Structure 1
């Protein structure tokens, strides 16, 4: 029975991680994977930051909840906060449209977003506990 619960939990975690990445990719006007195929390092860094930050929030949600439903709920709350971070940061930097900078390959913006996502995921995760 324990093995089945673990397998179900792992399946749910994988589904939530990839669903989260898909939803996150809808925030940008370009196709993340097309940019990666072209070797756009800036997009790769930002996308890696999204993946890691999503995994941090998901991991803390899984660790602190005994119910899959509660885990998914807290992940959703944390995930919305991560998406709002991107939108808010884009809004407070009107002279630098983030999606355009990433698409142009601005590695500095990619690094900044990577660490912004990761940092915010730790801060957000501290609220989940």
Structure 2
């Protein structure tokens, strides 16, 4: 390990933290409820989904950093993966609503932990698949 490698650690960490914050903020804009206000009000279901999605995004970022030569490559991969997971969640929301009558977003807003775990697990599964590519 060189001094350059050591100096890259805080730069990559800061860039990753900023990216994760931006991605999670953008994600909060895609729900019909206000994630940050719901978490502030103590909605454990919203918090559970948020934390699981944050973990999934962090895993994708970690995998992309490990494989990327340049920082911008890792950041682009993370953004593309974020969009992929948004589409995946949108599709599964529609599928669950049509086939089982499960309204994931409404259930999470209503505080149903099971709904949050189901939605969060979709992100974790997607992250594991994306991270293996």
Q: Given the two structures, how large is their TM-score scaled by the length of structure 2?
A: 0.88
- Distance in 2 (alpha carbons) for counterparts of 1:56 and 1:5: 19
Q: Which residue of 2 aligns with 1:119?
A: 125
Question: Post-superposition shift, 1:102?
Answer: 0.7
Runs of 4+, deviation exceeding 3 Å: none
> Is the 2:28–2:36 Cα contact (8 Å) retained in structure 1?
no
- Distance in 2 (alpha carbons) for counterparts of 1:26 and 1:37: 16
Q: Which residue of 1 aligns with 2:18?
A: 15
Secondary structure (helix, strand or coil) at the match of 2:66 reads: helix
Question: Post-superposition shift, 1:5?
Answer: 2.6
Question: Post-superposition shift, 1:69?
Answer: 1.1
- Distance in 1 (alpha carbons) for counterparts of 2:39 and 2:119: 16
Q: Given the two structures, how large is their TM-score scaled by the length of structure 1?
A: 0.90
Structure with bigger RCO (C-alpha 8 Å, 6+ apart): 1
Matched positions, count: 127
> Is the 1:45–1:114 Cα contact (8 Å) retained in structure 2?
yes
Secondary structure (helix, strand or coil) at the match of 1:30 reads: coil
Question: Post-superposition shift, 1:4?
Answer: 3.4
> Is the 1:60–1:125 Cα contact (8 Å) retained in structure 2?
yes
In the alignment, structure 2 segments of 5+ residues that lack a partner are none
Aligned match for 1:104, one of 100, 110, 128: 110
